[in-house]
Structure 1
């Protein structure tokens, strides 16, 4: 079982193990794989060997991204074999060394952060969420898999409107490799040590991003789930068709949880607007936000009325017929009112436009 790898290591192998990976140009997947392993107590005192020499790799307890072997029993986690097809449960993307390490040790990492058993529902939820939100992009990048089918993009005649700088997680690590014309020590051992230092910098850099994601989902996203569940259950109080959801105490990360709740319920009565106070204080102004079609979409299920868009203050009061208006964004995805009653009135009127 994937989740038992860390348990076996902890109980039978002790501290001070040696991790092996390849030298030369480094990539995001093995940089993160090494970082994730070292989050666990059993690897906290580990040393690192970067080589392609099979004899040296054989001396390593755990080997990632090199060696041509995937065998969790022997702690070998390479993905470059022609026969390798392993994916994360329920996902289509072929794993890289980061995905392999997360597959086998991710539950232990999450359980350690939550201080809960590996088999708990919350650990399983975050294990899946972290893979989809962070690790899978690295697996795809290392395996040359595009987020969009290139043939379909070409057939649709789509072109980039501007350069995004190629700033992906993988590119971030790639930029930390030595430049082709950087000075290199003449002594091979010194040259390897200098390269290893850059790798450690890269491993720490991407690892910090992973840890930030882990902390966010553990400390903010997961606790928000119960709040969104309660608001979803109360939504019929504000609209008979459940099109308005109110977060009564304060704003929390709600999109993922709302989509999950709607999918679980199987309803075709989707929430169109979410209301929440700007701050968790009694006199706070309120926001009304249109639910996007997908989490990262700029398209709303139902944007606020065209007539309101771009209006502010007294002008918004006039065009909406609702006192206390603060603003409505020019795209109609969000607006504000001085009071909850005003924001609720905006939602009630907007659903009927």
Structure 2
């Protein structure tokens, strides 16, 4: 981090998710930087970074507004940049400690959505209560005499936590890919993939393996699970369901049906079942293959 940032400026008064998240991003890198909320051009001119106000986009000079005529550009998918997107474009990789895949995931799943809403580019944005609306609710209502700057600071603290969790989730997804890919490569039977610990697996398995039918992994409480591989993400249709006679059985009933003395349950939907031991769960997988 070679850049010295002592003063960050944005507009005062009513705030939105784009300026709140942009400030949260910068404060994660420059926690001691002073924040000034103003529309005074002379004050802004002395700031190291100015965002969402000022009518200038020049990343090299620390200017990140998008309200000027013609805006400040758009992504390849057509979603325009707001102040959050412009700040993320320059600083996102650094916030994600140099991991481009995580930075890209954040832009795809968080930054671009907030940019789209702020810029009125709502095509493809989910309806309902959004994160942008939640941030806006930190503003004082017309019935309140709250201080906008104090409310802004509260919103930034909230956004900082959200940003941290999005990064953690993206990091988990990226790291899981390598673990699942390795498990696929090491599988004795390509139809049965064993994970030494549970990690999100569906995206990677569907991308890398056309043969995988069942995933085996330990639960958080130590028992083992067998889960079917869906035909595609979000689908309730599986490549091969578990045996129909197991549906809805548990404990003694399932143990009698399978002959496994530590069998625990099988979901009625035949997509997941479990035993206390890995050995029995692997036997379940073999039975399912043969059914």
The normalised TM-score by structure 2 is 0.84
1:258 deviates by 3.5
Q: Aligned with 2:96: secondary structure?
A: helix
Change (3 A) 1:300 1:137: farther
Which residue number in structure 2 is paired with residue 36 of structure 1? Answer: 25
| Count of residue pairs the alignment pairs up | 290
Give distance in 2, aligned partners of 1:52 and 1:293.
54
Which residue number in structure 2 is paired with residue 72 of structure 1? Answer: 59
RMSD: 3.0
Which residue number in structure 1 is paired with residue 199 of structure 2? Answer: 252
Which residue number in structure 2 is paired with residue 155 of structure 1? Answer: none
Maintained 8 Å contact 1:244/1:272: yes
Give distance in 2, aligned partners of 1:86 and 1:292.
39
Which residue number in structure 2 is paired with residue 334 of structure 1? Answer: 272
In the alignment, is residue 46 of structure 1 matched against residue 33 of structure 2?
Answer: yes
Give distance in 2, aligned partners of 1:201 and 1:106.
22
Give distance in 2, aligned partners of 1:311 and 1:85.
59
In the alignment, is residue 299 of structure 1 matched against residue 236 of structure 2?
Answer: yes
The normalised TM-score by structure 1 is 0.71
In the alignment, is residue 25 of structure 1 matched against residue 14 of structure 2?
Answer: yes
Change (3 A) 1:276 1:31: same
Give distance in 2, aligned partners of 1:125 and 1:279.
28
1:221 deviates by 4.3
1:89-143: per-residue Cα shift (whole Å, max 9, x none)?
Answer: x6553322212111110111122xxxxxx4xxxx122222222233233223323
2:282 to 323, 341, 344: 344
Change (3 A) 1:346 1:132: farther
Listed as ranges, the gaps of 5+ residues in structure 2 are: none
In the alignment, is residue 58 of structure 1 matched against residue 45 of structure 2?
Answer: yes
1:278 to 209, 215, 219: 219
Change (3 A) 1:311 1:178: same
Change (3 A) 1:348 1:148: farther
